Structure 1
Amino acid sequence: MSSSLVFAKMPAIAAYKLALKQGDAALEKMAERKDVKAEVDYFNKNIQSVKSVDDLFKDRRMIQFVLDAVDLGKETGKMGLLKKVLTQKADDPDALMNKLIDKRFKTAASLLKLGENGLGTIQRESTKADLAELYVKNKYDAGLASQNSAVPLALYFKENASSVKNTYEILGDQRMRHVVTTALGLPLQLANQSVEAQAAAIEKRLKLSDLKDGKFVDKLAQRFLMASDDGRSSTGSNKYVLNLFA
């Protein structure tokens, strides 16, 4: 039986429900896909021979794998920024990542620890396994996005909503913010207001405690998907991306 996955165009709600039904089985199929296995194998076979962080960034295939795994694969046009951010220490209050509203950079730096440990962390077996798992997940999400760009956003929200501690965590997460503001009917222009005003607008319409309720979260995710299919969301054009700097 072929291990390939075929992603066909379909309405957001249908694609979302299918993804939930397929669950881990779909991820396992993605992990077996030849092109995915080739990149995972290349990284695993070659990362131990890399001598420095500079050498890691010089190997375009390897750094692309790493960036794809940590959800920064589309930022390769900003390689200078990426290298600067990812080689700083995550706990340094003056580090650039701690001044960016986009928290993907800090999440990536905290996992890789290039600034703290050089290649020490990324060459560990546990980190290599984590990166392989993340790479597969992000490739799967990209496939879902080819069906309907809103679907991986809704799944991300469903998977992570219960861990939200305050409204500012929603605003600091591009995907979470877009799902919540779209589902609540808030306009894109909200991003032009102060962070405090944005938080107040969300809190007026949403009780954070409700995000602990799986049924509520699923309903909110589906409301977002319906808005996306109705054309009230701009997922397809990626207009949800925030300014990098707070």
Structure 2
Amino acid sequence: MPFQPVVPTGGVVGWNFLNRTMEAQRAAFTQTESYQRDEDYFRANIGGIRSAEELVEDRRLLSFALDAFGLGDDIGNKYFIQKVLEDGTEDAAALSNRLSDKRYKEFSDAFGFGAGQFPRNQLSFFSDEIVAKNEDSLFEEAVGNVDGDLRIALNLRRELSEIATDDMSETAKFYTVLGNPPLRTAFETAFRLPSAFATLDIDKQVETLQDRVESSFGAATISQFSDDDLTERLVQQFLVQSDIQSFEATSSPAAIALALLQ
């Protein structure tokens, strides 16, 4: 039976409950027999992989690796994933650098199979690194099977912290947020950005998001979210706004009239 987190309700109340019980629930997840088998297999075999082609040919290893970056749905796209890995990230024309979803670049960087890069799966700490990311991602997925907003909230807290402490420019950090689908959803919801926002020129999207972040948090930066308290404020803002938007969607005159007719 798949692991199912205990989340009695959603929103901020559900978020607070999940945080109080997080340690015990994550421990229960990682101790399931199926997870232990997959982790053991990854640790035992990933060091023997010498190329992107070898990795994609081992479906079990590839699945574990993709799940670590939230890309598990791509398990059937072997040629595409092999291309992402073999292109690496050093060349501006590399596939992962041309994709709007920057999780592929992170994935390619992590393995280092591209030209001019070092295969990082040969490093002694590599397995620990990927296992930790896999645990985060799959636990978030399990939470998402119960409540999608709480999955996004967990992802937001984890990934925003990593981006905030990176040494890239502030503009690049905003581009990275917009290039990560779960983070984009969190920010668009938290700042009540309309659906038409995604149709704007990307530079205009960055400018708009900078203005909204500055208005709510005092600075037009992503780096400020290295402060856990500010990140928690953003998470709660996302959850509150998501609840408000859900209420508005079901409380419009048209929705009420439809409910009466039914």
TM class, shorter-chain normalised?
0.7 to 0.9
Q: 2:175 is matched with which residue?
A: 168
Distance in 1 (CA, whole Å) between partners of 2:119 and 2:90 is 17
Distance in 1 (CA, whole Å) between partners of 2:208 and 2:108 is 31
1:222 corresponds to 2:236 = yes
Distance in 1 (CA, whole Å) between partners of 2:23 and 2:116 is 33
What secondary structure does 2:25 align onto?
helix
Contact (CA 8 Å) 1:9, 1:146: kept in 2 or not?
A: no
Between Structure 1 and Structure 2, whose CA radius of gyration is higher? 2
Letter paired with 1:93: A
Shift, 1:39, TM fit? 0.5
Shift, 1:10, TM fit? 2.2
Letter paired with 1:174: P
What are structure 1's unaligned runs of at least 5 residues? 234-246
Q: 2:33 is matched with which residue?
A: 34
Specify which structure has the bigger relative contact order, considering alpha-carbon pairs within 8 angstroms and separated by 6 or more residues.
Answer: 1
- Pair 168,188 (structure 1): closer, same or farther in 2 beyond 3 Å: same
Letter paired with 1:219: R
Q: 2:65 is matched with which residue?
A: 66
Deviations 1:99-135 (A, max 9, x none): 1111101101111112248994224331111111111
Distance in 1 (CA, whole Å) between partners of 2:31 and 2:230 is 34
Letter paired with 1:31: T
Distance in 2 (CA, whole Å) between partners of 1:206 and 1:118 is 36
- Pair 201,84 (structure 1): closer, same or farther in 2 beyond 3 Å: same
Shift, 1:155, TM fit? 2.4
- Pair 82,232 (structure 1): closer, same or farther in 2 beyond 3 Å: farther
Contact (CA 8 Å) 1:52, 1:119: kept in 2 or not?
A: no
Q: CA RMSD in A?
A: 2.6
What are structure 2's unaligned runs of at least 5 residues? 165-169, 215-219, 248-262
Shift, 1:87, TM fit? 1.7
Distance in 2 (CA, whole Å) between partners of 1:230 and 1:77 is 37
Q: 1:147 is matched with which residue?
A: 146
Q: 1:179 is matched with which residue?
A: 186
Deviations 1:30-64 (A, max 9, x none): 22111111101112223344454323211211211
Aligned length: 230
- Pair 170,45 (structure 1): closer, same or farther in 2 beyond 3 Å: closer
Distance in 2 (CA, whole Å) between partners of 1:49 and 1:111 is 16
Distance in 2 (CA, whole Å) between partners of 1:75 and 1:184 is 30
Distance in 2 (CA, whole Å) between partners of 1:117 and 1:21 is 45
Task: Please report the TM-score for the alignment, with normalisation by the length of structure 2.
Answer: 0.77
Task: Please report the TM-score for the alignment, with normalisation by the length of structure 1.
Answer: 0.82
Deviations 1:83-105 (A, max 9, x none): 10122121111101111111101
Distance in 2 (CA, whole Å) between partners of 1:53 and 1:125 is 19
Q: 1:101 is matched with which residue?
A: 100
Bigger shift: residues 200-209 or 103-112: 200-209
Contact (CA 8 Å) 1:89, 1:115: kept in 2 or not?
A: yes
Bigger shift: residues 15-24 or 181-190: 15-24
Letter paired with 1:53: A
